[in-house]
Every structure is written in structure tokens, then in C-alpha cells.
Amino acid sequence: MVSSGTGSDLQAIKTTAKKQGNSYVINGQKTFITNGQAADLVIVVARTGAPGAKGISLIVVETAGAEGYRRGRNLDKIGLHASDTSELFFDNVTVPPENLLGNEEGSGFVQLMQQLPQERLSLAIGAVASMERAVKITADYTKQRTAFGKPLIEFQNTAFTLAERKTEAMIARVFVDWCVERLVAGDLDTVTASMAKWWCSQKQVETADECLQLHGGYGYMQEYPISRMFIDSRIQKIYGGTNEIMKVLIARSL
């Protein structure tokens, strides 16, 4: 979980876990924590040492009955309403030393980096599924909806738009499937995962937007699935590392 104000800059973590006697004492706050309202076991990214990556550790906190632990508000998002997103607060929360994740302090940054490619690939997979679904429901809608005496799908603009989006969804699917193969083989690198996360999430947003447009006014109604897909797609370019950060990581490989 990320410190408030940190975002993609993991080295700027401000939450601390200081050794006092035979315990860690955690102080700080976290925001944008998925399932924070329900979680009773959280892994806290905290600073146990000097500034920089080497001073970061992961500490496991069992929240039930933990003195000084407090859940903040359930944040009011514009989308993804089925999943709560919360603020969490730690005020002198004490945990035993065995709650340190790993064999020694200072391993947290490396532990986080090791899992980022998998996380970013999972977001790309979700993006592909969303693209495919958007094209399917929009094709079905435009076959049924008529204008000027014929189905919308028979207008060239409609057909060409869906043809383009179906093609991009297929390209994304092939690329993501290849990335999955690399992950299973143990050689999915950060740059490739960043490419998948950036490109697929960008295309997901574009696809949802154009498919909503083809629904006309009905696409703006929340009772239609495409409207929720449009709203929910927007966060894909932000979490798991913003798409701007993805481009920075890709550019470093040039």
C-alpha cells in the first residue's frame, strides 16, 4: 500500500516502522487502498532505514484489534463502485519483529519491483477483456438499432470504427498472450510489462469511448453496460503505475 502523496514514486515513502525494543512501531497513513474497508491483513510499505530504496521494508499488520490502526473513509470514486478504496491510518501501531516480510530490513523495494511486471500484465489482461467485450456489445447494439431505415452497422462509419477496434483488440490479445507465456517461463521483464500496461490500457479507454459514441444518447445512460465500461476504464491509465511512468521505463531501454 502506498503512502499518501507518494503515488508511483515508491522511494518517497513516508510511513515509518521504527524498532522499539522487540517490536516495530508504525506511523503514517495510506490512501487509495483497494479493499481497505474489508482487509484484516495488510502489508504496509514502510521506511525502516535511511532515505532511498534501501531503507524500505514490508511489514505485515493484522488489523483486527490492532491499537492505533484506523480505517478512514471509503473514497467516493467515479467508477469501480463494486470495489472499495480507502484511507488507512497508523498511529503507533505495534507489531512483532516476525511480521517483517523477508529475512532482513531494506528488502521492501526489491520485493515490490519483483512483482510489478506481473501486476502490470494483469492490468493489460483486464484491458484486453474489456476491449473485446466493448466491441461485442456495441456490434450487437448497432445491428439492432436503426437510423434512416437501416441498422447502424450498415453505415460505413460504424462498420469501420468497429473493424478498427476489433483489430486492435486482437493485436492486444496476441501481445498479452505472448507476455503471459514469458511470465510463465519466468522472463517477463519490466519494459515489456510496461509496454503491455501502457498500450492496452490506452486502447481500452479509446475503445470504450468510441463504442459509447456508437450507442448515441443511450451510451450515456448507466443502465447500459458501455457507460460503466467507459467510466471504469479511465483508472486503468493511472493505477499500477501511470502510463507516463510506463513510457519513462520504456524510454530507458532505448
Q: Where are the domains of the chain?
A: 10-106, 110-251
pLDDT at site 13: 85
pLDDT at site 39: 92
10-106 CATH fold: Butyryl-CoA Dehydrogenase, subunit A; domain 2 (2.40.110)
* pTM (two decimals): 0.89
110-251 CATH fold: Butyryl-CoA Dehydrogenase, subunit A; domain 3 (1.20.140)
Q: Is residue 8's pLDDT more than 70?
A: no
Under the banding of pLDDT at 50, 70 and 90, the label for residue 2 is: very low
> Do residues 51 and 109 lie in contact, with contact meaning Cβ atoms separated by under 8 Å?
no
Q: Where are the alpha helices (DSSP H) in the chain?
A: 108-144, 156-185, 190-214, 225-233, 243-251
Report the mean per-residue pLDDT for the chain.
Answer: 94
Domains 10-106 and 110-251 share a fold: no
Indicate which residue of 67, 104, 105, 119 is catalytic. 119
Q: Is residue 88's pLDDT more than 50?
A: yes
Q: Is residue 253's pLDDT more than 50?
A: yes
| Burial 151-176, CB ≥16 within 10 A → b, else e | ebbeeeebeebbeebbebbeebbebb
119 is catalytic: yes
Q: Is residue 4's pLDDT more than 60?
A: no
